Chains A and B, each alone.
Chain A
């Protein structure tokens, strides 16, 4: 199983962010949170450690690298004390370019963390300011070098495109700089205007202009082209990696494999049941004081029906460029995919005929132009 840990703290929130994270939480608060977090790990391993061993860990946030290194150390220790962690497990941590020090990096390495994700987003200082990022392009470079120096051999760089004010040439420049650093993995997301974020209000007030769909798609396609010509495999809608370096943890999400998410608002999928942890920071932190059993942290739970499984198998599997294995589908669900969706297959056939989807007897995956309208196509499968 995979293990996801959520650290919901940031220096301050970026203008576009709608993730579950908070700026300005005191060290005391962070500490208190960790008490609860560690307690929940203890509780959950009592439930799962007999049946599962952990082969991937992902520490995400927020900015996990914001907290004191010692807390991360404690975290890893707690995980190992309760769960059996495979010696070849992929263990990632998300970091922000401004927060990394040699000391932190070494602590991470000693704790067994072997994959580093750097939230660069852009190499253009003006854009970084627009986005409300706390670092500069220089910081990205510095931190990347530092990570290599310390010995990290599996590094990911996060990039963003379709940022208001971004031109194609700035994007290409960013890509080239990122690829030039030769990270093992690059994630590239198009900016989404989410309700409740400063960007959204600015957009509504007319202070920001959204990048047009046509340009957004062009940026996306040019990025893919560049990756392919630079030795990267575009393996998921928004992810590219050198051979052997796709993110094993994230792949679990897209392959209907088991994963446990602990910490504020974290999501899990274990034994066919989806559940998530509570989202109120104060309540979560108090949890430790009450010594709640694992169940009390849970805000929501749902046992997947067969229909849920089928839909999710497809909508997650199709995020991978390799798509889904139809033989496997048939074995799992004891029905062919054409049969399950016979009522609207005529519409899907249109997409196949027009080459948005590529389908053979064994496999079904999106063509690149299919990715552009993947949501539209995927509604046929829910």
Chain B
């Protein structure tokens, strides 16, 4: 470690949602150099409308601050912001890998909660120094001593001199800053060594192309260098290096211990993968940094243009979204009912909801999302093999010898008290337990073989729901296996609507069919005639519901001279109709598709 590194502190803030992470980040920024109090925007590090609305951070932002400590030295604080939501675990883990320490916020009125634990485990996995901080001590219901005890008992780290603060009121902030200096280790690494940098995030800027957020572990990088991304094996020339403080500030070079950004004429974020290692092309380091993996979509669905919407517009929007979201995948797909669309992969339901909402709001698109599907291996009587992902393309049963479905190895990590209920949901989903082990005294890892179509349907959400957010899932494809799967169709007013067709295991067909019919009945509005909803396998109807007809839709009084009120009512009614999709004689709203897709806690 050299004298430069000695005065660097790389840390992030981790906490359960609403325990005060953003407020503390704001206060830290306020109390150090480079961003003046006046210029500060509320919750500065959260920067998208959607995030403001939902109160959660999605995109990462990192800031370099200068803190003049009590010992008289100027310290460089690299505050790395992390997404809070469980869907983005991989991204969180990579930004943690860029740090030496983590400030752990625990709300004095709530104590240690799910997200806290989940992220602490991630931090411990990265061998970070955890600095606990008890927040919201200004509130009447604050119990700081209990919070400290919980930290010690549940997490197992020493919290007796954890700073007691109120981020909102600005109490104890200096104590936190001093603790960061004292407790979080300075970065190590060889400045003279071969360049080894971690990409912990990237985004696409209209003017600068893809910008990489990086932590340099060894060596140095400057403008003009030819870098190599070790996992994607691509080379680029660096056009700019700098730090965010809070806006971009160019520097001459980034060296071991630094956190900053690199621009290198990279065209797509997909080329600058989170977790990848940067090195010099001319003198590459021997080994890439550990922990890199290609993000796996957990949830898939079909996205189609709604009636009246242009396919091209949807395609354009998806492409634009992918520019800044390496975790979002899509490829073309077709449906007899819905026409041309896309099959999309997401990290989770929240990720999907966010993408769908962005498509609807930012891009102003009318879209329909459908039931998800996996790829089945269909072995025909004559021996040929067809890979089918669209249930409507399933060949005639007479020609099929057998069908195989993809099986994955699923690793589920949960606190031990949930083992029973998780084993239950795995079994419900045709999982076969391989083995189980205790990672720590309180954490268990279960290894299952499970059909992928069970995993993507709603397993992830069931897991999160049953473990109150503490559980995590990792899976990888292992093989295809013969299976008794059938094609289940949904008929509306006696007409088959292929958008709802799905391939299910025959043991699940009845329950799935009932569920879909019930959900559709909830969402399909009354029509001028009765609408029977049926689930069928082949010719056999296995479930049905009926939507009663409506007889009345008239405005008795005309509100006197208030004509615009009437007009607005009709316009609103018309807007409601826009989100409808016509299937033969039946109109189905967009919400129906999502509802059929969503995990039902009561199932």
Contacts and interface: CB of A to CB of B under 8 A. Distances in A.
A associates with B:
yes
Interface string B538-565: 0000000000001111111110111110
Contacts of A382: 567, 570-571, 574
B293 interface: no
Nearest to A212: B551
B36 interface: no
A192 B577 CA distance: 22
A274 interface: yes
Contacts of B528: 373
Interface string A119-151: 000000000000000000000000000000000
B567 A4 contact: no
A323 to B, nearest CB: 15
Contacts, number: 90
A221 B120 CA distance: 69
A322 interface: no
Contacts of B567: 308, 311-312, 315, 382
Nearest to A60: B560
A372 B552 contact: yes
Interface string B555-590: 111101111101101110110010000000000000
A268 B560 CA distance: 10
Interface in A168-204: 189-190, 192
Contact of A237 (B552, B554, B570): B554
B493 to A, nearest CB: 16
A316 B552 CA distance: 19
A254 B558 contact: yes
A276 B556 CA distance: 22
A347 to B, nearest CB: 10
A267 B554 contact: no
A237 to B, nearest CB: 7
- Which of B528, B557, B570, B573 has the most C-beta atoms of chain A within 10 angstroms of its own C-beta? B570
Interface in A224-264: 237-238, 250, 253-254, 259, 261
A381 B567 CA distance: 10
Interface residues of A, number: 39
A213 interface: yes
B552 A213 contact: yes
A216 B563 contact: no
A42 interface: no
Contacts of A259: 561
A308 B556 CA distance: 22
A238 B558 CA distance: 9
Interface in A337-382: 371-376, 378-379, 381-382
B558 A253 contact: yes
Contacts of B556: 189-190, 192, 237-238
Given A253-B558, A315-B570, A376 B563 contact: no
A117 B78 CA distance: 77
A382 B569 CA distance: 10
Given A378-B570, A382-B570, A274 B564 contact: yes
Interface string A271-290: 00010100000000000000
B570 A253 contact: no
A269 interface: yes
Contacts of B557: 189, 192, 238
A319 interface: yes
A189 B558 CA distance: 10
Nearest to B528: A373
A259 B567 CA distance: 18
Contacts of A12: none
A216 B567 CA distance: 24
Interface in A299-326: 302, 308, 311-312, 315-316, 319
A217 B566 CA distance: 21
A276 B553 contact: no
B574 A379 contact: yes
Interface string B167-208: 000000000000000000000000000000000000000000
B589 to A, nearest CB: 15
Interface string A206-217: 000000011011
Contacts of B574: 379, 382
Contacts of B569: 375
Contact of A217 (B552, B571, B577): B552
Contacts of B550: 213, 373
A24 to B, nearest CB: 24
Nearest to B308: A343
Nearest to A6: B560
B454 to A, nearest CB: 40
A38 interface: no
A197 to B, nearest CB: 14
- Which of A266, A268, A372 has the most C-beta atoms of chain B within 10 angstroms of its own C-beta? A372
Contacts of B573: 375-376, 379
A213 B551 contact: yes
Given A254-B558, A379-B577, 7 more contacts: A216-B551, A267-B560, A315-B563, A316-B566, A372-B553, A379-B573, A381-B570
Interface of B: 528, 550-558, 560-564, 566-567, 569-571, 573-574, 577
24 contacts: A4-B560, A60-B560, A189-B557, A192-B557, A237-B554, A238-B558, A261-B560, A266-B561, A267-B560, A267-B562, A276-B562, A315-B563, A315-B567, A316-B566, A372-B551, A373-B554, A374-B555, A375-B554, A375-B555, A375-B569, A379-B577, A381-B570, A382-B567, A382-B570
